[in-house]
């Protein structure tokens, strides 16, 4: 159970070494850009851009979207959107070279495919609200702010882990 491996492809790499590698990538972002990594900002900026296409008035009425719309180069040239495109490319490259690239829906043994897809969507929606309130997610707050010792980022991390552990027993069926 502990050493469960994907039916296809190489086993995953050592978490400490890979984590240290990830830390060097984050450090490179500090050195090259003067900022850290992120993910949810790409969603927020593209959501702002999408709403502005459909209804510019509604987009500008939201102070959250207005911030992204007034950025240099507009919402679609947001740094994090380009970074996230890179993340997807890097993920594909790594999975392909390790023979882990294949279509599937990952789910626990007791949950249907349809329920898993629904809960992934629902979980994503809830995280969207949380990430907006917290001004970031596991990348922008936990990793980046964590490494820069931001108090708010550590509060976010503590909150996220605490809530996940509290809710975990109620959604056990989805995973185990």
Of residues 51 through 90, those in contact with other proteins by CB under 8 A are 51, 58, 61-65, 72-73, 77, 79-80, 82-90
Q: Which helix (H) or strand (E) holds 87?
A: helix 79-97
Distances (CA, A) of 112 to 119, 123, 176: 11, 16, 13
Residue 51 near residue 80, CB atoms below 8 Å: no
Report, in Å, the least distance between residue 70 CB and other proteins.
14
Number of residues that bind other proteins (CB under 8 A): 131
Give the nearer residue to other proteins in terms of CB position, either 56 or 61. Answer: 61
Give the nearer residue to other proteins in terms of CB position, either 56 or 158. Answer: 158
Report, in Å, the least distance between residue 55 CB and other proteins.
10
**Distance from the Cα of residue 95 to its chain's centroid:** 18
Distances (CA, A) of 27 to 30, 31, 135, 155: 5, 6, 21, 22
Report, in Å, the least distance between residue 117 CB and other proteins.
5
Rg (CA), the chain: 18
> Binding residue for other proteins (CB under 8 A) from 8, 70, 93, 110?
93
The tokens of 13 are what? 């790499």
State which of positions 126-145 bind other proteins (CB under 8 A): 126-145
State which of positions 155-174 bind other proteins (CB under 8 A): 155-168, 171-172, 174
d(CA 48, CA 59): 6
Per-residue mark of binding to other proteins, 100-129 (x: CB under 8 A): xxxxxxxxx-------xxxxxxxxxxxxxx
Provide the sign of the torsion angle of the four alpha carbons 86, 87, 88, 91, taken in this order.
positive
Give the nearer residue to other proteins in terms of CB position, either 25 or 56. Answer: 25
Report, in Å, the least distance between residue 53 CB and other proteins.
12
Three-state DSSP class for residue 1: coil
Per-residue mark of binding to other proteins, 15-54 (x: CB under 8 A): xxxxxxxxxxxxxxxxxxxxxxxxxx--xx-xxx-xx---
């Amino acid at each position: 159970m502990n050493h469960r491996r994907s039916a296809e492809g190489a086993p995953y790499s050592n978490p400490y070494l890979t984590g240290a590698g990830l830390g060097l990538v984050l450090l490179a972002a500090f050195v090259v850009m003067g900022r850290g990594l992120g993910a949810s900002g790409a969603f927020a900026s593209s959501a702002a851009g999408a709403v502005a296409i459909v209804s510019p008035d509604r987009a500008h009425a939201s102070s959250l979207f207005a911030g992204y719309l007034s950025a240099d180069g507009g919402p679609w040239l947001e740094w994090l959107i380009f970074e996230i495109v890179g993340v997807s490319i890097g993920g594909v490259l790594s999975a392909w070279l390790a023979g882990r690239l294949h279509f599937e829906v990952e789910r626990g043994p007791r949950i249907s495919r349809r329920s898993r897809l629904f809960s992934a969507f629902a979980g994503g929606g809830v995280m969207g609200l949380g990430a907006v309130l917290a001004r970031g997610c596991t990348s922008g707050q936990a990793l980046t702010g964590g490494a820069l010792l931001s108090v708010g980022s550590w509060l976010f991390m503590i909150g996220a882990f605490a809530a996940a552990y509290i809710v975990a027993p109620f959604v056990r069926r989805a995973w185990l």
